[in-house]
Amino acid sequence: MASQKKKSFKIEPFKHAYTLDPGYADKTWKILEDAIREINGHNASGLSFEELYRNAYNMVINKFGDRLYNGLVETITAHLRSIAAKIEATQGESFLRELKLRWDLHNKSMQMIRDILMYMDRIYVKHNNKVPVRQLGLDLWRDVVVRNKRIMDRLLTILLDHIHRERTGEIIDRSLLRSITQMLMDLGQTVYCDDFERHFLVKAAEFYQVEAQEYMSSSDCPEYLKKAEKRLAEEIERVSNYLDPISEPKILNVVETELIANQMKSLVEMENSGLIALLEQDKYEDLARMYALFKRVPTGLELLRGMMLEHLKETGKGLVTDPERAKEPVEFVQRLLVEKEKYDRLINSSFASDKTFQNMLNSAFEFFINLNQRSPEYISLFMDDKLRKGLKDMSEDDVEGVLDKVMMLFRYLQEKDVFEKYYKQHLAKRLLSNRTVSDEAERSLLVKLKTECGYQFTSKLESMFNDIKTSRESMQDFKNRNRGSEAGTSADAGAPRPEDELELTVQVLTTGSWPMSNVAKCNLPRECERTCEDFKDFYLKTHSGRKLSWQTHMGNADLKATFGTSKHELNVSTHQMCILLLFNEVDSMSYRDILGATGIPASDLKRSLQSLACVKGKNVLKKEPMSKEIGESDTFSFNEGFRSKLYKLKISTVSAQKESEPEKQDTRHRVEEDRKPQIEAAIVRIMKSRRTLDHNSIVAQVTQQLSARFLPNPTVIKKRIESLIEREFLERDATDRKLYRYLA
Amino acid sequence: MPKDTIKLISAEGFEFIVDYKAACVSATIKQMLSSEGTFTETETGEIKLQEISTPILETICQYFHYKIRYQNSVTKSIPEFKLAPEIALELLKAANYLDC
């Protein structure tokens, strides 16, 4: 029961005795309303801030906030209606100016109204989730003035008209436009975007569509690009001058679409000034512009790249398959280098070193270099030419530069093994005839090849270099030994040797490392034979168990010859020496006699004779009958009347020349043969790890494994697989004929 | 044009001359003095606070200076701002009014 009593106990809230004057709210609002009118009428001086603030304050704390806020909305709305009417009434040009003026005044008034209603903003607005006074001012302006249909339409038309006029070259009041667009932006981004920007973009698209047509019919490609570039710059400037930055990507997109994307295809295909013409005329500047512009649109660069690729393939194909050009290997490679350099420069200077374009360039070169089967040979020949003589007056850096460039071409080759074959041949000739200009350059190229293709590729080449080096050393030993034994007979080592004494230089080459077929040794003259035997004895004494075979077709010799009264020193090949020495005993010999006496293979003999008898100024032999070719029935005689201004004469040896057609066939055949074991090895390697694999995968993997050296033909791979099955390395799966198994 | 000092007048007509900077501790006063519009307060630099009595306004002025003195102080030992309990309610109302 006691608890019930407690329950009824209640604390009475303290009540104010004081009640408000019932007319209080009306009176106070009247004061404030008048003040707001005054402010809107720009007649605020003399108003007391404190008084107005106090009144608003009191209204809010006496719970008349609603009254105050709604009253404010009404008053402002009414005021703005009258303003809107005034703006509508203005004529023509002054419309924008009036609008701007009214807007500025409105803002100023709203600022003051906000100040005196600060307390309401702070307390009432916050608690009742109303729109703050400042925003209210903007919203009302937007709804009553700007979105007033008659005002909006006119505003839009005038704005767009101004912009159109500026595009066509007139001068307009930018700052006025700036303040109008700023107003739209202040009213909210949606107002700017929906009520203005949308229309602006549509208008721009229309304008540029028409303009693109005009430009296309009146200008050539570079000019068009210049104009488009200018237009883009103008639009950027326009945005920065009197539009909001958010418009920039949008308007640029419009211009890009209309002026570039929609026209680019016709642009690049323009006759006499399109992409091809620009490429051919080296118009780097225009190409740079084209690149920069096309980059802006999604498929622009793709189009550019595709077209360039086609063009490159086309011109490249022309270069490599033109039979005229293919005659001169050095020239041929030089042309390729020039072409490559041109496009490298183009991509670097005009296309901002774009990786995708570099790749395009590479694929184009790869495509057409491999169109010509002789490319590997020519590239090797080019290197040969450079290493023989081309690098003489170049600095080390230049040499590196040239080599690097050729290596670029080398990289494009699919048949690197063919290149290796030729390179080996050419290198052998250079080394043996001592024709390399710079050992350093040779080494540097070797290092490059090694980094490019790995150790395997160059191991034989390196061993060639080593052979030459060790040969030099053992020759030194051999000479020293000779000198030692001669010490008794000849007091001075530098004294002239007896007539029949000859100086022999031997290069001992590792079989297998050097690209040479075992050609039968020719019959050396007696004097030589003796010295050779000497060397053989000497060499085998220090390297027992080795076998020396003489490769007479690779050698050369210096001879002293007397033609009547004049003496000459002749530099000839070993074969030529053998031939010439025959004439020490007889004056005239038939082709058959020479062939019998020397034992030189017919083709070599013919070439040697040709250079001895048929080259003008160096014809130390006379031929009967006189002709350019060597016939089997020809007779040769010593040319007693031979004269030359030079004391030393070089009878041109058969230098590395472009291969003749049968030789080429031969090399190709050898390459094909060499590939077989490589393909087989690859197949076995793959099968060993995979155990079973289907045909297509094997082909794919073999191709991939060997791609660093050459591109194997699928049918060849198939043949190799068959051969491996025959030899029981693999077997076909019993059920699935496409499947192979590895037999351990 | 902001003046160096301004005059605050209490309900009873007492005038307090305060540093402009100090007076601006009150957001309301600050706005009165710097409003864009051409109110009398802005022009004369005098504000008549009809709702605030002299003792309260005095305490408020003291508080303005107290606030300026210590608001950016890094020392921990900020003295307490002492006020008499009997004026607390009035002071609170005034603080709300002046937004400070």
pLDDT computed for residue A494 by the predictor: 35
pLDDT computed for residue A475 by the predictor: 82
Residue A499 pLDDT greater than 50, yes or no: no
Q: Note whether A461 and A473 are within 8 A (CB).
A: no
The residue-averaged pLDDT of A93-106 equals 86
Count residue pairs from A and B with Cβ separation < 8 A: 60
- Which chain B residue has its CA at the smallest distance from A123's CA? B96
Inform me whether the C-beta atom of residue A134 falls under 8 Å from chain B C-beta atoms. no
Q: Note whether A206 and A138 are within 8 A (CB).
A: no
- Which chain A residue has its CA at the smallest distance from B51's CA? A54
Which positions in chain A touch B32 (Cβ < 8 Å)? 49-50, 53, 115
CATH code, domain with B19: 3.30.710.10
pTM of the model: 0.67
Distance CA A483, CA A501 (A): 12
The residue-averaged pLDDT of A291-300 equals 86
**Nearest CA-CA distance, residue B57 and chain A, Å:** 15
Residue A498 pLDDT greater than 50, yes or no: no
Nearest to B51 among A44, A54, A115 (CB): A54
What residues make up the domain containing B91? 5-98
Would you call B51 and A118 a contact, using CB atoms and an 8 Å cutoff?
no
Distance CA A615, CA A628 (A): 9
Residues A259-281: tens digit of each pLDDT: 888 888 888 888 788 888 888 88
Specify the higher pLDDT residue, B58 or A41.
Answer: B58
pLDDT computed for residue A490 by the predictor: 33
pLDDT computed for residue A538 by the predictor: 82
Inform me whether the C-beta atom of residue B36 falls under 8 Å from chain A C-beta atoms. yes
Residue A12 pLDDT greater than 80, yes or no: no
**Nearest CA-CA distance, residue B76 and chain A, Å:** 32
Residue A99 pLDDT greater than 50, yes or no: yes
Inform me whether the C-beta atom of residue A561 falls under 8 Å from chain B C-beta atoms. no
The residue-averaged pLDDT of A156-181 equals 87
Which positions in chain B touch A111 (Cβ < 8 Å)? 35-37
Residue A290 pLDDT greater than 60, yes or no: yes
- Which chain B residue has its CA at the smallest distance from A45's CA? B38
pLDDT computed for residue A487 by the predictor: 39
Q: Which of residues 72-131 of A touch B (CB under 8 A)?
A: 108, 111-112, 115, 118-119, 122
What is the average pLDDT score of chain A? 81
Residues B9-38: tens digit of each pLDDT: 998 889 999 888 888 888 888 888 877 667
Q: Which of residues 53-92 of B touch A (CB under 8 A)?
A: none
Mutation test of the interface with chain B: which of A14, A49, A51, A104, choosing the one with the most B Cβ atoms within 10 A? A49
Would you call B39 and A48 a contact, using CB atoms and an 8 Å cutoff?
yes
In the structure, what pLDDT confidence band is assigned to residue A483 with cuts at 50, 70 and 90? low
Residue A485 pLDDT greater than 60, yes or no: no
Closest C-alpha to A557, from A538, A533, A536, A579: A579
Q: Which residue's structure tokens are 């022999």? A: A504
How many domains, in total, are found in chain B? 1
Closest C-alpha to B20, from B50, B40, B42: B42
The residue-averaged pLDDT of A215-222 equals 86
The residue-averaged pLDDT of A531-556 equals 79
- Which chain B residue has its CA at the smallest distance from A112's CA? B37
Residues A377-394: tens digit of each pLDDT: 888 888 888 887 765 667
pLDDT computed for residue A486 by the predictor: 44
As to burial, measured by CB atoms within 10 angstroms (0-12 exposed, 13-18 middle, 19+ buried), residue A703 is: middle
Would you call B35 and A49 a contact, using CB atoms and an 8 Å cutoff?
yes
pLDDT computed for residue A711 by the predictor: 82
In the structure, what pLDDT confidence band is assigned to residue A13 with cuts at 50, 70 and 90? low
pLDDT computed for residue B35 by the predictor: 74
Nearby residues of B60 by Cβ (< 8 Å), 6 or more positions away: B26, B52, B91, B94, B95, B98, B100
**Nearest CA-CA distance, residue A55 and chain B, Å:** 11
Inform me whether the C-beta atom of residue A655 falls under 8 Å from chain B C-beta atoms. no
Residue A525 pLDDT greater than 70, yes or no: yes
pLDDT computed for residue A516 by the predictor: 67
Residue A4 pLDDT greater than 80, yes or no: no
In the structure, what pLDDT confidence band is assigned to residue A491 with cuts at 50, 70 and 90? very low
- Which chain A residue has its CA at the smallest distance from B52's CA? A54
Residues A25-59: tens digit of each pLDDT: 788 888 888 888 888 887 767 778 888 888 888 88
pLDDT computed for residue A325 by the predictor: 66
Q: Note whether A128 and A68 are within 8 A (CB).
A: no
Q: Which domains does chain A have, with CATH numbers?
A: 24-146 (1.20.1310.10), 149-270 (1.20.1310.10), 373-453 (1.20.1310.10), 476-552 (4.10.1030), 555-650 (3.30.230.130), 661-742 (1.10.10.10)
pLDDT computed for residue A215 by the predictor: 87
Residue A488 pLDDT greater than 60, yes or no: no
Residues A615-624: tens digit of each pLDDT: 777 777 888 7
pLDDT computed for residue B1 by the predictor: 44
pLDDT computed for residue A501 by the predictor: 60
Would you call B41 and A50 a contact, using CB atoms and an 8 Å cutoff?
yes
* Cα angle value A673/A679/A682 (rounded, 5°): 150
Inform me whether the C-beta atom of residue B48 falls under 8 Å from chain A C-beta atoms. yes
pLDDT computed for residue A492 by the predictor: 35
* Cα angle value A11/A15/A18 (rounded, 5°): 175
The residue-averaged pLDDT of A666-673 equals 82
| Long-range contacts formed by A142-147: CB under 8 A, 24+ apart | A142/A187, A142/A188, A142/A191, A144/A77, A144/A80, A144/A81, A144/A83, A144/A84, A145/A80, A145/A83, A145/A84, A145/A87, A145/A99, A145/A102, A146/A183, A146/A184, A146/A187, A146/A191, A146/A195, A147/A195
The residue-averaged pLDDT of A623-647 equals 79
Residues A387-442: tens digit of each pLDDT: 877 656 677 777 788 888 888 888 888 888 888 888 888 888 888 777 777 777 88
pLDDT computed for residue A1 by the predictor: 45
Distance between terminal CA atoms of chain B? 23
Low-confidence winner among A108-122, A200-214, A256-270, A483-497 (lowest mean pLDDT): A483-497
Would you call B49 and A53 a contact, using CB atoms and an 8 Å cutoff?
no
In the structure, what pLDDT confidence band is assigned to residue A518 with cuts at 50, 70 and 90? low
Phi, psi (rounded to 5 degrees) for A602: -55, -45
The structure tokens listed for A681 are 């090895």
Residue A517 pLDDT greater than 70, yes or no: no
Sheet containing strand A692-694, strands side by side = A692-694, A739-742, A730-732
Distance CA B100, CA B96 (A): 7
As to burial, measured by CB atoms within 10 angstroms (0-12 exposed, 13-18 middle, 19+ buried), residue A27 is: exposed
Nearest to B49 among A39, A50, A112 (CB): A50
Inform me whether the C-beta atom of residue A38 falls under 8 Å from chain B C-beta atoms. no
Give one word for A196, left, alpha or beta, with left for phi > 0 and alpha for psi -120 to 50.
alpha
Sheet containing strand B46-48, strands side by side = B15-19, B5-9, B46-48
Nearest to B28 among A46, A53, A108 (CB): A53
In the structure, what pLDDT confidence band is assigned to residue A318 with cuts at 50, 70 and 90? confident
Residue B69 pLDDT greater than 80, yes or no: yes
